[in-house]
Copies of this chain bind each other. A is one copy, B any other.
Amino acid sequence: MEKEKVKDRIIRVASDLFYKQGFNSTGINQIIAEADIAIGSLYNHFSSKNELLKVYLIKEELKWFDGFEKHSSKLIKAKDKIFTLVDYRKELQNSSGFSGCHFIKINAELGDSNPVISEFVMKHKEKQKIMIKELITEYNKEDGSVNADAITENIFLLLEGAVVISTINKNADAFDQTKKIIKGLLP
């Protein structure tokens, strides 16, 4: 295994801090301390804290879709893939100590102050919804005949609600409820 490069270590440390304690609450000094580098090195690799934020979000998006691909690729039926989407988001919450969705979090924290990030978050959620719709369309070919747009929106909103509420409550109950509801939606 190759040794982790400085740039990658900065990204890893910064990402973890941005997620766990928030972007505004994370200082450059804390990042360089935990990455064990000098401040000059950080600014050699990244032009600003904001650039580090963009790199973080782009990487998290890739991780999110790759992670779901790994969870669902072994499954054959679209119905099972949809159920495993609930399991996947539950697992992400469990393993992060219910720290929430990276994208909802940063959007809540930045509000309207950073349009580039706001648009990135909007597009990310749109991608998630499109992915769900593709699964529902696949499901209709295999087993069902549901209204794809309506069921997609329903599942999409339930999942976002479940993530937010599980973050607040620090438990996964909302995902279990969500799975039951979705089972009822896909006969």
Contacts and interface: CB of A to CB of B under 8 A. Distances in A.
Contact of A22 (B104, B109, B118, B169): B109
A121 to B, nearest CB: 6
B111 A164 contact: no
Copy total for this chain: 2
A154 B103 CA distance: 23
Nearest to A122: B168
Contacts of A125: 165, 168-169
A164 B159 CA distance: 11
Interface string A108-123: 1111110000100110
A181 interface: yes
Given A22-B110, A24-B24, A109-B24, A162 B168 contact: no
Interface stretch (A30-38, A53-61, A172-180): A172-180
A121 B162 CA distance: 15
A139 interface: no
A104 B150 CA distance: 26
Interface in A142-187: 150, 153-154, 156-162, 164-165, 167-170, 174, 177-178, 180-181
Contacts of A112: 20, 97, 99
A37 to B, nearest CB: 25
B160 A165 contact: yes
B109 A108 contact: yes
A107 interface: yes
Nearest first, the 9 closest Cβ-Cβ pairs linking A and B are A161-B161, A157-B161, A108-B108, A160-B161, A24-B24, A153-B177, A105-B108, A109-B109, A160-B164
27 contacts: A20-B111, A20-B112, A21-B113, A22-B108, A22-B109, A22-B111, A24-B24, A25-B113, A97-B112, A104-B108, A107-B167, A108-B108, A108-B167, A109-B109, A125-B169, A150-B177, A150-B181, A153-B177, A154-B181, A156-B165, A157-B158, A157-B161, A157-B174, A157-B177, A159-B161, A160-B161, A160-B165
